[in-house]
Amino acid sequence: MNPHTVEQHTLQPPLPRTIVTGASSGIGWALSLHLAHLGVPVVAIGRDAGRLQALAARHALIDPWPADLGRIGEIDALAAQIVARFPEVGVLINNAGIQHDVRLDDAGYGSSDIQREVDVNLIAPVALTRALLPHFQGLGRACVVNVTSALAHAPKRTAAVYSATKAGLRLFTQALRVQLRGSSVRVVEAVMPLVDTPMTQGRGRGKLPADQAAQALVAGLLAGRAELHIGKARWVPALQRWAPGLLARILQKA
């Protein structure tokens, strides 16, 4: 008997259908699989259609949805199409991200790279959230999860734009939480440490495996917490309060 079939019939979904962006690799891939194994249907968004098909082949509850979130003008239509096909969708995990691990004055890093990094990391999650918000507000329960980074608290020397976008996403998350206070829409921030993904390949030590990062995020979400500090990022609030200089030195070299 297929173990996936058993799970689908014996486990009650702890969450409504969930959108995961950046699902074709890394944390998004791991999140999609972990949620599906818990019985949660997933809309897996990513640019690589082949990778998404491979992901969907791993579990029947994963629906692949190829899309380039850097095309900001297409996000409203993307949201409308997803809601039309899956009117029960009630969770958005804004996970997609790009990091160029270079100095701002690097000769190979140009304006188009900056634009795409800002669009994918910050503008896209804001725009996708805004597009889905009317639908979410009409549901009995819904949730927006924004995946940020310890670099939202202090920058990395060779990731100025990435650090800035994650700081912007963190502040947007806080502002949205204030706006939606008292509504049925929860707003959650998941602060990640250095996670072992294709984006971080070849740098850093002691990286958290992507599947462990995904499991910790989902566990925190199910526990009802509004701020999730994953793995080594759990030390960030204390360091920021009691030793901000040390935190800054650690993250400059991340």
- Residue 72 CA to residue 239 CA, distance in Å, equals 36
Q: What is the mean pLDDT of residues 100-122?
A: 94
Instruction: Indicate the pLDDT class of residue 206, thresholds 50, 70 and 90.
Output: low
- Residue 14 CA to residue 100 CA, distance in Å, equals 36
Q: Which sequence spans correspond to the domains of the chain? A: 3-252
Q: What pLDDT, on the 0 to 100 scale, is given for residue 93?
A: 98
Digit-coded pLDDT (tens) for 112-161:
999 999 999 999 999 999 999 999 999 989 999 999 998 888 888 888 99
Digit-coded pLDDT (tens) for 20-48:
999 999 999 999 999 999 999 999 999 99
Give, as one character, the DSSP assignment of residue 105: T
Query: What is the chain's mean pLDDT, rounded?
Result: 88
Q: So what's the architecture of 3-252 in CATH? A: 3-Layer(aba) Sandwich (3.40)
- Residue 60 CA to residue 120 CA, distance in Å, equals 28
- Residue 185 CA to residue 159 CA, distance in Å, equals 32
Strand 142-149 to strand 91-94: parallel, antiparallel, or no bridges (unpaired)?
parallel
Instruction: Indicate the pLDDT class of residue 236, thresholds 50, 70 and 90.
Output: confident
Catalytic residue among 56, 162, 196, 217: 162
For residue 250, pLDDT beyond 50: yes
Catalytic site includes residue 162: yes
Above pLDDT 70, what percent of the chain? 88
